[in-house]
Amino acid sequence: MKSFIMKLVMALLAVPVLSLAIPSHLNAQDTPAGAWAGTWKFNLEKSKFPGKPPAADQVTVDPDGTIAVDETSSSGKSSSWHYKPEQGKAVPVVGRGDNVTVLVTAVNPHRNEQVWNFNGREAKSYAVLSKDGKTQTFHMSGTDKDGKPFTEVVVFEKQ
């Protein structure tokens, strides 16, 4: 009986010690951007937009995972916005308007998924990085500000 109790005590003490040695999960902020890092420009011919396509769309992914987007609309209006994703946490999208957040989930090194909140209006997206790391395809669907459903597919090529 004494031997059983000692084994039980040792097992119970080992669990907290081992849990300190093995991270429960890595936040996106703790993980470098890897093959996603770099400057990406959209390919108009391969992309599909619900309305008029932008004149320019460029995404820069910093090594720390920060994402910055520079766009020029079809009418020539420029806009820039950015965010730093944290796995499992909604973060503000700076420059995109009030109350805009994105929740990013890294599914694997070649796919991530996002849930966007535009002032209470939700949209979902995912991005897929090609095996050679030269192309990423961004898929988004949701409802626009007028309540109409939309889908877009934007193909980006690494510069």
Spatial CB neighbours of 107, under 8 Å, sequence gap ≥ 6: 113, 126
Cα-based distances in Å from 25 to 88, 89, 105, 116: 10, 13, 12, 22
CATH of domain 27-158: 2.40.128.20
Most confident of 15-19, 37-41, 95-99: 37-41
Domains of the chain by residue range: 27-158
pLDDT at 145: 82
pLDDT at 98: 87
Q: Which of 153, 149, 101 is nearest to 126 (CA)?
A: 153
Q: Evaluate if pTM is beyond 0.85.
A: no
pLDDT at 138: 97
pLDDT at residue 16 is higher than 50: no
Question: Rounded distance, CA 137 to CA 41, Å?
Answer: 11
